[in-house]
Amino acid sequence: HGTSRVNEKGHLEIGGVDTLDIVKEFGTPVYVYDIALIRERARGYKETFERMGVKAQVAYASKAFSTIAMVQLAEQEGLSLDVVSGGELYTAIAAEFPVKRIHFHGNNKSRDELLMALNHEIGCIVVDNFHELNMLEELCREKKIKADILLRVTPGIEAHTHDYILTGQEDSKFGFDLQNGQATMALEQSLKSEYIHLLGVHCHIGSQIFETTGFLLAARKIFSKLHEWREAFQFEAKVLNLGGGFGIRYTKEDQPIPAAKYVEEIISEVKRQARHFNMEVPEIWIEPGRSLVGDAGTTLYKTGSRKEVPNVRNYLAVDGGMSDNIRPALYEAKYEAVLANRVLEPVEETVSIAGKCCESGDMLIWDLPLPKAGQDDILAVFCTGAYGYSMANNYNRIPRPPVVFVENGQARLVVRRETFDDLVQFDLPLLEKVNK
Ligand code: LLP
């Protein structure tokens, strides 16, 4: 998919660049991003909104993959940006992303983080709870300014996805509960405040969702509340943000509907609800992360040791693992992979791909059909673009891999590989002179 293909040498090529050349230049493991595919996904979302004639913002959820180059790419494509921490905000500012298109999320923003957002005059703060609402009011009073906010509400939806990434259900750490009066109290407080300008409502029901039912249900629940709020407080929401969570295809078992379809159905439902309650159609904001960058990313590893467990399984280890992709260990996430240097060779065996971390759970793929892999083959694991680099870590003091963007036959390093010196840079000695 995307610009990936097999070239005349039988090698995997991405963005017009032979992956073996990438390995030669940057080593392994390495994250490779197909930039044309990210652009295509971004344009797909934006065009759907334009075609259906609604005002919209498509905010890239940068938690999926936040680096300066990625933020710049989001800017080039006219996306807005969702950040969830001072660090992600700092990255956006460092990339000179237009501040008015930055939205700040999070269930426990610190005073300093809120202050940073206010000082940079970002577009909108998505307020999650009363603690934050009070703190924000206080900061705005001190600064004599008015902050644009959305209230994050929890609509009480159980989206069908992995339990850890469910967020819209009632028993959730996020947001003001829509059913029990909390959301209405937060609304009243915001409307009364001189220091708050309430743009509308936000919800996010979960991640890696394959159907639209949950989004439509959330929209309906929110509209019936908006109706109530109009009657009681004459409040009209200018913005309705329905979050992200649109699923992608990691393996052939995954059957998400096309991205445009989610958006079309959401827009139709919002229009229907607005008509039903005789309201203006609000601006619709969405926050896709995974579906913008997930399938654009491929990780290249070098194969190493093998272990055969007779009549049970063959293990083939690679030079990375849960330090660069924690998703299999954390969520039992599944991936597909090929040998990038021998793509066209027939399948000869089934091997399980082990990472190099000292932990039995560090397995990247179970029972993968491959040609008989030796040492120093290149394994390409697909769909690692979202929550791969962004959740990478230095477990076992393994340096994080570099990130390379490929497009139109050009490879560009956008994050360099960590060195051992990087790993010890924050360490302070117990003894002043070690081995000197
Ligand atoms: N908006 C909000 C408020 C969110 O919490 C999230 C994801 C998104 C947008 C973007 O969701 P996406 O379109 O990427 O599904 N680490 C997990 C995913 C956690 C998602 C957390 N929130 C994973 O690797 O699957």
ipTM of the complex: 0.99
Bond from prior residue into 29 cis (ω within 30 degrees of 0): yes
Q: Amino acid identity, residue 58?
A: V
Q: What spacing in Å lies between the alpha carbon of 297 and ligand 1's midpoint?
A: 16
How far, in Å, CA of 36 to CA of 388, rounded? 19
Q: Which of 124, 140, 203, 358 is catalytic?
A: 358
Asked if residues 214 and 264 have their Cβ atoms less than 8 Å apart, the reply is no
**Gyration radius from the chain CA atoms:** 23
Ligand 1 within 6 A of 290 CB?
yes
Structure tokens at 435: 């081995």
Ligand 1 within 6 A of 248 CB?
no
Q: What spacing in Å lies between the alpha carbon of 244 and ligand 1's midpoint?
A: 7
The three state secondary structure string of 256-284 is CCCHHHHHHHHHHHHHHHHHHCCCCCCEE
Q: What spacing in Å lies between the alpha carbon of 385 and ligand 1's midpoint?
A: 13
Q: Whose CA is closest to atom 16 on ligand 1?
A: 387
| pTM score, whole prediction | 0.96
Region of 145 on the Ramachandran plot (φ > 0 left; ψ -120 to 50 alpha; else beta): beta
The answer on pLDDT for 67 being more than 50 is: yes
Region 272-295: what's the mean pLDDT? 98
**Which residue ranges are tagged as binding site for pyridoxal 5'-phosphate?**
245, 287-290, 387
Asked if residues 289 and 248 have their Cβ atoms less than 8 Å apart, the reply is no
Mutate to test the pocket of ligand 1, among 129, 207, 322 (most ligand atoms within 8 A of CB): 207
Q: What spacing in Å lies between the alpha carbon of 200 and ligand 1's midpoint?
A: 21
- Report how far apart, in Å, the C-alpha atoms of 65 and of each of 267, 377, 393, 431 are: 27, 27, 14, 38
Ligand 1 within 6 A of 294 CB?
no
Ligand 1 within 6 A of 327 CB?
yes
The three state secondary structure string of 118-147 is HHCCCCEEEECCHHHHHHHHHHHHHHCCCE
**pLDDT band for position 135 (50/70/90)?**
very high
Helix ranges (H only) for 52-126 are 68-76, 86-94, 111-119
Asked if residues 117 and 131 have their Cβ atoms less than 8 Å apart, the reply is no
Residue 46 is predicted with a pLDDT of: 97
The closest of 176, 282, 157 to 230, measured between CA atoms, is: 282
Q: What is the DSSP letter of 401?
A: P
Query: What pLDDT, in 10s, does the model give residues 310-328?
Result: 999 999 999 999 999 999 9
Give the nearest ligand 1 atom to 245 CA.
Answer: 15
Q: Whose CA is closest to atom 8 on ligand 1?
A: 244
The closest of 140, 114, 130 to 186, measured between CA atoms, is: 130
Catalytic-residue membership of 358 = yes
Residue 163 is predicted with a pLDDT of: 45
**Which residue ranges are tagged as binding site for substrate?**
290, 327, 331, 359, 387
Query: What pLDDT, in 10s, does the model give residues 211-227?
Result: 999 999 999 999 999 99
| Domains of the chain, CATH where assigned | 5-33+294-424 (2.40.37.10), 35-289 (3.20.20.10)
Q: Please give the mean pLDDT across all residues of the chain.
A: 95
Ligand 1 within 6 A of 105 CB?
yes
User: How many percent of the chain have pLDDT more than 90?
Assistant: 92
How far, in Å, CA of 303 to CA of 323, rounded? 16
How far, in Å, CA of 429 to CA of 417, rounded? 25
83-86, Cβ contacts within 8 angstroms, sequence gap of 24 or more: 85/113, 86/110, 86/112, 86/113, 86/116
Render the burial of 315-342: b for 16+ CB within 10 Å, e for the rest.
Answer: ebbbbbbbbbbbbbbebebbbebbbbbb
Q: Whose CA is closest to atom 19 on ligand 1?
A: 165
